[in-house]
Amino acid sequence: MDHIVYLDAQAKELENLLSGSKTMIIRGATGRKLPHGRVGASDMLYFINNNAEGKVRAKAKVKSAFHSEKMTEDESHALVKKNQPKLSLTEKQIKRWAGKRYIVLIEVADVKEIHPFAIDKSKYGNMDDWLPVEKIESVTVT
């Protein structure tokens, strides 16, 4: 399965993944929303900055994925803190994710910069920061 993942441009997530100082991505919510239960080892992630540029700039393979059960706020904070060395989150990002009831931690490998390309988002009515696309070719704009 291929996924398009929007990264925090302000926090330089893409640069940190490419440099290797960040090896894990986090997503969280009050309920089970994407990518909870939908991403697993050997899936491919295609990264795009959330700065309206609209180009996929890098890809990575999912090394492992952890999908939490419902957690208390304290458990959620502890999970984020424990994984902070791999997550490399800014204070603002910690405030955003820590405390969520459901958290997904995705460890990545083989992060590579690729020739930038645009995607067709017309099939996705509600634009989220995570799009499971099945095959990347199905949304690539030529």
Chunked in runs of 10, what are the mean pLDDT values of the chain (142 residues)? 96 97 96 92 96 92 97 98 98 96 98 95 76 92 78
**DSSP 3-state of 125:** coil
Tokens 């704009």, residue located = 141
Q: Are 36 and 106 in contact (CB under 8 A)?
A: no
Given phi > 0 = left and psi -120 to 50 = alpha, else beta, which region is 96? Answer: alpha
| pTM for the model | 0.94
Q: Are 99 and 75 in contact (CB under 8 A)?
A: no
